[in-house]
Amino acid sequence: MTSYDYIIVGGGSSGCVLANRLSEKPDHKVLLIESGRRDADPFIHIPATFFKVLEKGIDVHGYVSEPEKGLNDRPQIVPQGNVIGGGSSINAMIYIRGHRNDYDTWSQMGCQGWSYEDVLPAFRSLENNGSLNGKYHGRSGTLHVSDARHRHPLSEAFVKAAVEAGLPANGDFNGENQDGVGFYQSTTFNGRRWSSAQAFLREAEKRSNLTIMTETRVARVLFDGKRASGVELVDGTKISATREIVLTAGALATPKILQLSGIGDATHLSGLGIPVVADLPGVGANFQDHLEVPVQGETRDPISILGQDKGIRAALHMARYMLTKQGLLSSNVVESGGFVDTAGTGQPDIQFHVLPVLVGFADREPEPGHGLSIGPCFLRPRSRGSVTIRSADPAESAVFNANALSDPADIETLVRGVELAIRILEAPSLARIVKRRVLPGPGIEKDPVALRDYIRSTAKTVFHPSGTAKMGRADDRTAVVGPDLKVHGIEGLRVSDASIMPTLVSGNTNAPTMMIAARAAAFMTGKQISA
């Protein structure tokens, strides 16, 4: 049996960081296993063409839930990266850490050592910010973070209109205050996507002590008693680990691997004929995701990015990009947005993602014509779902119940977000540009029943699944891993991805997932993080 010191299962945002950090020491023999292929598609590396990668579907795995009552019996569709770099290779590159209170809440929930002041050094150690510095930012890391190179007129109009609607401008959502509107920084560098693969794996893959296996699926973790001893691939190949195994497969794949390995609810696993290694009923529970609802306006003139990827216009954009790394193709498309406290709690509960085009989704065609899309998204969902295996067969998909919008508080937060987005759409800087509101239809906001039905009919994921291997104390029966990310009751096995979030952070999850990986590597190697 082939043997390594460390096996990392999942080559996404977290796995690339871990592969880099664990292989820094030459005598560490490290294996990274990724179910997808190499990040070779050129569209991955051009910021504005990430939607082409999503359209192709080759480097994406689309998880589909059971029909959801809270979504008017629609399934929740959650596309996830299935490629080296994972989500960081297919996402909109927005660099957000979340709110200070997110991490302080984790600490108060029993995750000692995970307060904001505890995690800030890890964020700073990873970051190489092109314009911001000081207490909240780093300049020495390998994860490049940049200001928007391209600012579409519709993105700028949104920011101006939001300020007219009473929201403050904010030039740094990761600084002292999250509140306000402005342009997002993105994980890009010199006009190119700067994924976790670019930031961490490109350097590490040159090392002889790191092996990378792509298009390879792990069926389960193997054990010697209560110690993780290796992994078994779906083809039956077994690979041993002398030190540790780390699951970094994401919040929808990691709980499946754990359950197939005998870690989960003992009654459920026994009923499937799977020998129980650890009775941890929290595995696969506590699923959370960010959902947003479209508020869209059709513009008077054809000024959106509709059709810019076709014909001579596409050729001109590509020529400019290849020559200068400037222009539309250098844009992350979701250029502007912001964070708003709509409930008066002192912490934002809504995030806006703004696109200079009318967008649809996997289950909905875009509206025709030119326009812009404002997506109010709730930040701290109350609803909780689950991921549960159907059988001991790794090839069979798990039962995914998102339980979306099951908590009435989530609906009410989105109601406030939609109402605010409509007010922004009607503010002077957008009213001059927008001919008519496309979604929701005229007058819907005046009918409480119709507005809530609209939300249930159109709410969609913002691609931030989390929580299914919750971090917490060993005496918490809902927790799966401890603050050191070790699986409770097991030796030699950790989880290091968005699965471990006890509660979802208030913002995009890519940067927090890399922070989690940096801390996991520090726990495993004993090497201190220096910001």
Please list the active-site residues: 464
The answer to whether 529 and 514 have CB atoms below 8 angstroms apart is: no
Residue 387, H or E segment:
strand 386-388
Joined together, the tokens standing for residue 332 give: 């992350």
Instruction: Identify residue 456 by its one-letter amino acid code.
Output: R
Distance CA 28, CA 381 (A): 40
Give, to the nearest 10 degrees, the angle between helix 510-525 and helix 116-126: 100
Round to whole Å and give the CA distance between 381 and 379. Answer: 6
Q: How far is CA 59 from the centre of its chain?
A: 15
> Residue 347's closest CA among 95, 99, 167?
99
Structure tokens at 483: 């603050």
Of 486, 436, 15, 463, which Cα lies nearest the Cα of 214? 15
Of 37, 212, 102, 52, the closest CA to residue 498 belongs to 102
Distance separating alpha carbons of residues 451 and 54, to the nearest angstrom:
30
Between helix 408-425 and helix 153-164 the angle, nearest 10°, is 100
Buried b (16+ CB within 10 A) or exposed e, 190-208: ebbbbbbbbbbbeebbebe
Tokens of 412: 């009410």
Distance CA 376, CA 158 (A): 13
Question: The tokens 């700067």 sit on which residue?
Answer: 194
